[in-house]
Amino acid sequence: MLTPEELLKADTPPRFEISVDNLRIRDRDVGPARIPVSYDADWIPVFHLGAFVEWGEAFNVDGNTDFSFECGGYITKLFLKRCTFPFHGEPSTVEARAKRIPIHLGQAAISAGFSSVLLSPPEFLSRTIRLVTPENVTFKIVPSGVVGKPCLISSTLETGSDDVVSDMGCLHVFLTFVKGSHCGVGNLIAHDATGAVAFSLLGFTPNDSGKIEPNWLDRCLQQDLPTIFLAFSSAHADDLTRRALRQGIEYYRASNVLRSASIEMAIIAAHTALEALVNYILEHRAGWSKSLMAEKGIKFSDKMRAAATFLRVDCDLLEQSPELRGLSRSQNNKDAFDLISFIRNKLVHQDAAYQPQGLQMHEAWLLAQWLVEVLIFGIIGYRGKIRDRRIYKGCGGTMELPFTT
């Protein structure tokens, strides 16, 4: 398998080989083999098995053919992607993919660190960033210098092959918050204390490679990422907080990814992210009882307002939303919290008396996603600057997070 450094130096994803303990084609064990592998345009591993499929077997290959290989005690099941059946004794072209990725190659009880590739990195990563957890685990990200191109990421994380993906969970969630969508981590090689290869991971965790919606991160804020990550990883260590952050950020990501396809679904996803964060803040930070949380007479907009008040959010939430301010005046001066839920509810339940306008929905989406960001920073205890994503006319700018002490 290529090292992350070798993979990043290649102009196009190259073909390489992996060694396996046994390759199985249907009911036949090939035995130890070196399988040619390449990454496709989406960085998904493709296994080239034509040289291992016997002539008589080639005519019986179909999508249900059972391919698998064993490596280091792990069995990886494959499915057929493409095949050709040439005549005159030429080898068949048989391409397969794994049913689950990333794929474990080899195993070790504990590794002393790893290096890997980071796909679809945050747009504003333009210099080396070192992120350190409270336990002094370091993640070093080295950008390629070209926006959107894969980066090199290395770490001092001590982990085993069964746990490496879950042990990187905090970093993965943090990078999703930084980018607003998924980055992929993979083609990982872990080493032991002597520097020898302990185990490898082939393939990548899910990544979003499409359009990146601007969020709270700005180029000038890169220098603050280590401080933000330290606060984030400290909060993430608590079980209840971790659940709220992961759920809220996953819906936040969904809203960003959905924006170009459906503004309506993007607003609904952002509102769901707010529900996850607000319920956590009120029940586990502000001390609301379960009966109070379940009180049907308390609207969600009131809960949003209470959560923001508890975190001491103090600013004019509509200062960058002229269309929503006009809507507010026409709706008996509803505030920002009422307007977010008002528009979300009209989209879900429909109302012939009110049809949301394009700019109103765009401003509602920007406001809801901005509030998600503010609540997350409030939860992790970070007080600093962010890019104000509510600004969509003219040049954007940074702002101090709107918390009073």
Q: What CA–CA distance (Å, rounded) separates 393 from 405?
A: 31
The alpha-helical segments, DSSP class H, found in 2-136 are: 4-9, 55-58
Q: CA 191, CA 145: separation in Å to the nearest integer?
A: 27
pLDDT at 187 over 60: yes
* Number of other residues whose CB lies within 10 A of the CB of residue 66: 12
Reported as a pLDDT band with limits 50, 70 and 90, residue 185 is: very high
Phi/psi for 82 (5° steps) reads -155, 145
Q: Residue 297: pLDDT above 70?
A: yes
The pLDDT score that the predictor gives to residue 26 is 82
Does pLDDT of 91 surpass 70?
no
Residue 64's pLDDT is 61
Tell whether the model's pLDDT for residue 224 goes beyond 90.
yes
pLDDT at position 306, please?
A: 97
With contact defined as beta carbons under 8 Å apart, do 229 and 141 qualify?
no
The confidence score (pLDDT) of residue 147 equals 78
Q: What is the distance between the alpha carbons of residues 247 and 179, in angstroms, rounded to a whole number?
A: 16
Question: How many of the other CB atoms lie within 10 Å of CB of 361?
Answer: 20
Exposure class string for 335-356: b at 16+ Cβ within 10 A, else e: ebbbbbbbbbebbeeeeeeeeb
Looking at the chain, the whole-number percentage of residues with pLDDT higher than 70 is 95
* Dist. CA 360–CA 160, nearest whole Å: 50
pLDDT at 87 (0 to 100): 66
Please, which pLDDT band fits residue 146 given cuts at 50, 70 and 90?
Answer: confident
User: Distance from CA of residue 221 to its chain's centroid?
Assistant: 20
Note the helical H segments in 259-335.
263-280, 290-293, 300-310, 322-330
pTM: 0.93
pLDDT classification of 65: cutoffs 50, 70, 90: low
**Which residues, in sequence order, are bridge partners of residue 75?**
70
Centre a 10 Å sphere on the Cβ of residue 25 and count the other Cβ atoms it contains. 21
For the ranges 53-67, 161-175, 250-264, 354-368, the lowest mean pLDDT is seen at 53-67
Q: Compute the average pLDDT of residues 279-290.
A: 96
Q: What's the burial of 211, exposed, middle or buried (CB within 10 Å: 0-12/13-18/19+)?
A: exposed
Beta sheet of 151-155, edge-to-edge order: 103-105, 197-204, 184-191, 113-119, 151-155, 138-142, 129-132
Q: Greater confidence, 155 or 396?
A: 155
pLDDT above 70 for 166:
yes
> What is the structure's pLDDT at 92?
73
Find the mean pLDDT for residues 372-378: 98
Whole-number Å distance between alpha carbons of 236 and 380: 8
Sorting pLDDT into bands at 50, 70 and 90, what band is 90? low
φ, ψ for residue 117, nearest 5 deg: -105, 140
Residue 209 or residue 235, greater confidence = 235
* 373: enclosing H helix or E strand: helix 358-380
pLDDT at 48 over 60: yes
Instruction: Yes or no: say if 186 and 102 are a contact pair by the CB < 8 Å rule.
Output: yes
Residue 58: pLDDT above 60? no
- Residue 80: its pLDDT value, please? 84
270-288: average pLDDT: 97
Q: How confident is the model at residue 279, as a pLDDT?
A: 97
Q: Of 34-43, 130-139, 158-167, 253-262, which gets the smallest average pLDDT?
A: 158-167
Q: Using one digit for the tens of pLDDT, what is the confidence trace for 105-144?
A: 987 678 999 999 999 999 888 889 999 999 999 999 999 8
pLDDT band at 225 (very low <50, low <70, confident <90, very high): very high
Contact status, residue 206 vs residue 182, Cβ threshold 8 Å: yes
Q: What is the mean pLDDT of residues 159-182?
A: 94
Distance between CA atoms of 19 and 17, rounded to whole angstroms?
7
Tally Cβ neighbours within 10 Å of residue 209: 15
Q: What is the mean pLDDT of the chain?
A: 91
pLDDT of residue 57 exceeding 80, the answer is no
Nearest to 283 by CA among 313, 250, 249, 306: 306
In this predicted structure, the answer to whether residue 237 has a pLDDT above a threshold of 80 is yes
Percent of the chain with pLDDT over 90: 74
**DSSP SS3 for 94:** strand
Q: Cα–Cα distance between 161 and 140 in angstroms, integer?
A: 20
Alpha helix stretches (DSSP H) within 311-357: 322-330, 336-349
Residue pointed to by tokens 């509510």? 390
What does the pLDDT average to over 86-97?
Answer: 76
Predicted confidence band of residue 60 (pLDDT cuts 50, 70, 90): low
> According to the model, what pLDDT value does residue 13 have?
74
